[in-house]
Amino acid sequence: MMNILEVEDVTVGYGKKMILEDFNMTIPKSTITSIVGPNGCGKTTLLHTLARVLKPKYGAVSIGGEDIFSLDTKDVAKRLSLLPQSSAAPAGLNVHSLVSYGRYPHKSAFGGLNSEDAENIDWAMEVTGIRDLAERSLDEISGGQAQRVWLAMALAQNTGIILLDEPTTYLDMKFQMEILNLLKDLNDTAEKTIVMVLHDINHASRFSDGIIAVKDGEVISTGSAEEVMTGSILSEVFDITPVMGRCPFTDRPIITSYRLRS
């Protein structure tokens, strides 16, 4: 299986403070990978490094075997999209125009939307369930609706790789499941590679081919849900004592409840 994304000996951080040091990771093509770990462990830093938002101090990030920083950033944007944890838009932009900015990397500066653009935008708005909001302004809709709008923008980019930073935050339980099903579906039918930071570890277990558990900038464990989702590993990563069970739908390991480690 080919590795579509590779992180090699990467040291990265903000200013003088390094968050990840000599970090290594590979993401196989057409898989769903979840990054889990406690607050401040470097998950978002890792995702931003993969998305070339942060430039590593040392080491290399490659996409399809090529150094991501040597490629034209617009070409990278045709292959990789990112849904950040929170996003901000210029005031007054309506939902449809915002989603259509997902087509930005595919167009020349003043080219209008062609039929391929229109199809991608329509599709992205359809699957995220925001069709009815098209003419609304971002400041007129709820946080959960806004989250789906941003997801639609990332999907309209129609890239082979989609990176998502806590895509289910702000969403109610139904929409959480809809979004995760949608991502699974995109992975199954369109062979998209999906890398996401997930807070809900049971969702990670249920939807991922691979899980990377990170703590203090180090990979504690990486592998399938069966390999990573064990009581002892979770106890170490999250500093809790979990009670493990099985997901009734997928038979994968889940945490049924937990208490603080005494």
Partner 1 sequence: MAYIMTLIISFLLLAAAITLSLITGSVELSLHDAVNAFIAFDPSDNGHIIIREVRAPRAAAAAIAGAAFAVAGGVTQAVTRNPLAEPGIIGLNAGALFFLTIAFIFMPGLPFTYLILISFAGALFSALIVLTVSFFGRARMSPLKLILAGVAVTLFFGSLSTAFQLYFNIGQDIAFWFAGAIQTIGWAHLSVIIPWFLFGIAVSLLLSPVLTAISFDEQTAVSLGVSVNKTRLSALIAVVMLAGLGVSIIGAAAFIGLIVPHMARFLSGGDYRRILPLSGVLGAVLTVCSDLAARTLAAPVELPAGALIALIGVPFFLYLARRVVRYEV
Residue 87 binds partner 1 (CB under 8 A): yes
Selected range binding partner 1 among 131-139, 182-190, 197-205, 232-240, rule: CB under 8 A: 131-139
CA distance 124 to 17: 38
Task: Pick between residue 192 and residue 206 the one whose CB is nearest to partner 1.
Answer: 192
Own/partner contacts of 184-187, CB < 8 Å, gap of 24 or more, are 184/32, 186/155, 186/162, 187/30, 187/31, 187/32
CA distance 159 to 78: 6
Contact at 8 Å (CB) between 225 and 203?
Answer: no
Contact at 8 Å (CB) between 158 and 127?
Answer: no
Selected range binding partner 1 among 147-155, 174-182, 204-212, 247-255, rule: CB under 8 A: 147-155
Looking up tokens 């590795």 gives 3
| Minimum separation from the CB atom of position 171 to partner 1 (A) | 19
CA distance 207 to 162: 15
Q: Which of 25, 130, 146, 154 binds partner 1 (CB under 8 A)?
A: 154
Q: Which of 21, 29, 104, 178 binds partner 1 (CB under 8 A)?
A: 104
Q: Which of 3, 26, 97, 241 binds partner 1 (CB under 8 A)?
A: 97
Residues 59 to 78: which contact partner 1 by CB under 8 A?
73-78
Residue 30 binds partner 1 (CB under 8 A): no
| Minimum separation from the CB atom of position 227 to partner 1 (A) | 30
Looking up tokens 């009581």 gives 231
Task: Pick between residue 93 and residue 240 the one whose CB is nearest to partner 1.
Answer: 93
Quote the distance between the C-alpha of residue 38 and its chain's center. Answer: 16
CA distance 188 to 168: 20
Residue 95 binds partner 1 (CB under 8 A): no
The closest of 165, 177, 23 to 86, measured between CA atoms, is 165
The pair of structure tokens assigned to 128 is 């995220």
The closest of 183, 128, 194, 136 to 161, measured between CA atoms, is 194
Residue 241 binds partner 1 (CB under 8 A): no
Task: Pick between residue 62 and residue 159 the one whose CB is nearest to partner 1.
Answer: 159
Task: Pick between residue 84 and residue 144 the one whose CB is nearest to partner 1.
Answer: 84
Quote the distance between the C-alpha of residue 155 and its chain's center. Answer: 12
Q: Which of 1, 39, 65, 110 binds partner 1 (CB under 8 A)?
A: 110
The secondary element (H helix, E strand) that includes residue 54 is none
Residue 174 β-bridge partners: none
Residue 89 binds partner 1 (CB under 8 A): yes
Selected range binding partner 1 among 33-41, 88-96, 119-127, 190-198, rule: CB under 8 A: 88-96
Q: Which of 140, 172, 191, 251 binds partner 1 (CB under 8 A)?
A: 140
Binding positions for partner 1, rule: CB under 8 A:
15, 48, 51-53, 73-78, 80-82, 84, 86-94, 97, 101-102, 104-105, 109-110, 137-140, 150, 153-154, 157, 163
